[in-house]
Chains A and B, each alone.
Chain A
Amino acid sequence: MIYEPGPMGPDAVSGLVGPGRVSGVRGALRRRRSRLGDHAYSALRWAGAGLFGAVALGLLVGVGSDSSAALQHSGIGFIWSGTWNPAAGQYGAGILVVDTLLTTAVAMVLMVPIGLGTAIFLSELAPRWLSGPLSTLIGLLAAVPSIVVGLWGLLVLTPIFANQVEPFLASVPALGWLFRGEAYGPSILLASVVLAVMTLPTMVSLSRTAFGGVPVADREAALALGATRWQVVRRAVFPAARAGVSAAVTLAVGRALGESIAVAMVIGNRPAIPESLTTPGATLGSAIVNQFAEASPGLGTSSVIALGAVLLLLTVAVNAGGQALLRSGSGAPAHTAGALR
């Protein structure tokens, strides 16, 4: 058999070479069977890819077309304007978008310092016997289903927030105005706390990967110059890991934007501009959870699906940005964001 190598690349190679050049009838038969087998395999591969492509396309097209009725009715201003009051025939996503962005922002303010500090501790400052088990523990938090976090938020956190935390926060001298008003319990603040708990593991694991990607030589160089451990982190590790950490934050934001069930359980379902962080609110996700099933077919359902379209646009944009940052940074596998959250 003569084997002639071709340019690199799996399919390019096999395209040129085929199943080897054996002469004669035996070779012809073997080649024919191989070619059929190859065709079958190739067809299977196309089937798999095609199925996935069809599903992806179907999802995007379906959401888009089902929301078209609502967008035709309300115009593109649907996204930023108006009130959400289906009974009065008012369909405007503006307040829901504001609340969604607000809960996510507050969740990030709470979560990023904690997540970053934890990642720094685990990857730079902790003794090895501690960092292994601790990071496993935090990774397990990623596996907790969102409904369980929502249950805990609803049954455990809500009374604590209504009776102790929110009144306390309202009395804090400098920041009290952020938390003024009736302490109902279910509120923007509570939803943000729940979101922070749920996005923390993503942040920690992706940040650790980013820190891990910094070459050891950089750290050693800093140490050789007389830096303390914190200075090593600040001067050598951080700058190199910036892309990875930004990716971590961005992906956490994407996750927080899309969370619906847990938020619906603790946010209080009030589609109005919140006066303070302790006011109830309503996000895009929570509105869909609560209103999809009972929306009147036609304009009602289409409007709820249009909310989904807005949410989809937001999360897709944020996630695409996060994935791009990941690739530009450490090149760590992006899928872990989905599986490990």
Chain B
Amino acid sequence: MSVLIAPSRRELVRTAARRSLRRRQIVGRIVLGLCVLAVVAAVAPLVALVYFTISRGVGTLSWAFLTHAPTPPFIPGGGISTAITGTAEIVGLAIVLAIPTSLLAALFLFERSGKLAAALRFSADVLTGVPSIIIGIFAYAVLVLPLHQFSTLAAAFALAVLMLPIMIRADEEAMRTIALDLWEAGIALGARRGRVARSVILRGALPDLVTGNLLAIARAAGETAPLLFTLATPLAAMTLLIYTDGTQAFPSAQRTAWATALVLLSFVLLLSVAARLVAWSISRRAH
């Protein structure tokens, strides 16, 4: 560059360039500082959340706490076993309802093109954003009111409706990572379409399918609003128990809420971590 600038002006240009660089570097440092502040502000709530949940909940946690049924407030020896088994039942039933349906619907979207598939895909995208409280109202109207009772089935139905659009889209995206020629090869070899779906699509997309479904399940396990209008008692699910006990003024009830929150948080975080581990290990194996 110095070749192109007259010798008399070289010093001027150099100084100007140096000053501009200095200014830009300072601006860059400031922005870096702001971004670091932003990161601190972003991480701080998570750290505070986990800290408080652990510190306020771990004292109440014990094997007896996890395995005994609840007792009235001032009678000792109670636990949250009904809530834990209740959550497991509800989530398990929801999985049974949602996974086959979502897999089949995803296969439908993956293998077909056309207006219907596009419309269904769009509705799935949009339905992922439906507030969970509205899904709770839907389950109340469909399963609680006509049958005149609150039930785990209604709660499981609500969670399944919540998971369905998320799983469908995750499944379809997972399937799209399969190379299309493998599918065509299967069909060309004369295999039935269902066989091809099983052996090629599902088998090839399995890691991403597992990841996506685990994340959806982790989300559903932590939901409270859909359970509000479908369960008979707050003792039937951990999230409801946290809501009911957490809003009580008795310190013992609040401690139960924190301990239950700790159990729930651990479970949900474990599921999320497992989902990420699956993705990470598979992506490592593929490279």
Contacts and interface: CB of A to CB of B under 8 A. Distances in A.
A118 B101 contact: no
A319 to B, nearest CB: 3
A258 B132 contact: yes
B128 A319 contact: yes
B101 A51 contact: yes
Contacts of A1: 190
A288 interface: yes
Nearest to A122: B39
Nearest to B190: A20
Contacts of B59: none
A117 B224 contact: no
B95 interface: no
Contacts of B104: 44-45, 47-49
Contacts of B103: 48
Given A155-B254, A292-B137, A147 B161 contact: no
Contacts of A155: 56, 246, 254, 258
B105 A48 contact: yes
A339 to B, nearest CB: 4
Nearest to A337: B128
B120 to A, nearest CB: 6
A308 B137 contact: yes
Contacts of A165: none
A154 B247 contact: yes
A109 interface: no
Contacts of B151: none
A118 B38 contact: yes
B188 A3 contact: yes
Given A48-B107, A134-B43, A228-B28, A143 B218 contact: yes
Residue of A121, A312, A339, A341 with highest tally of chain B CB at under 10 A: A339
Interface residues of B, number: 107
A225 to B, nearest CB: 12
A3 B102 CA distance: 33
A216 interface: no
A230 B32 contact: yes
B108 A152 contact: no
Interface string B251-263: 0001001100100
A136 B36 contact: no
Contacts of B224: 145-147, 261
B268 A117 contact: no
| Contact-size category for A | 35 or more
B138 A145 contact: no
A289 B192 contact: no
Contacts of A293: 228-229
A48 B108 contact: yes
Contacts of B113: 9, 11
Contacts of B188: 3, 17, 20
A63 B131 CA distance: 12
Interface stretch (A53-61, A84-92, A236-244): A53-61
Contact of A285 (B25, B131, B221): B131
B197 to A, nearest CB: 7
B190 A145 contact: no
B187 A17 contact: yes
B104 to A, nearest CB: 2
B125 A334 contact: yes
A312 B110 CA distance: 28
Contacts of A34: 190, 192
| The 9 residue pairs across chains A and B that have the minimum distance between CB atoms | A48-B104, A117-B38, A145-B222, A258-B131, A41-B194, A338-B128, A335-B169, A319-B129, A20-B190
Interface of B: 21, 24-25, 27-28, 31-32, 34-39, 41-43, 45-46, 48-49, 52-53, 56, 100-113, 116, 120, 122-135, 137-138, 141-142, 161, 164-166, 168-170, 173, 180, 183-184, 187-195, 197, 212, 215-216, 218-219, 221-225, 228-229, 239, 242-243, 246-247, 254, 257-258, 261, 264-265, 268-269, 271-273, 276
Interface of A: 1, 3, 9-11, 13-14, 17, 19-20, 22, 30, 34, 37-38, 40-42, 44-49, 51-53, 55-56, 58-59, 62-63, 66, 113-118, 120-122, 125, 134, 136-152, 154-156, 197, 200, 204, 227-231, 251, 254-255, 257-261, 265, 285, 288-289, 292-293, 305, 308, 311-312, 315-316, 318-320, 322-323, 333-341
24 contacts: A9-B113, A45-B104, A56-B127, A58-B138, A117-B34, A143-B269, A147-B224, A147-B243, A147-B246, A148-B265, A149-B49, A197-B49, A228-B25, A257-B131, A258-B130, A258-B134, A261-B228, A289-B228, A319-B128, A320-B126, A335-B212, A338-B169, A339-B170, A341-B219
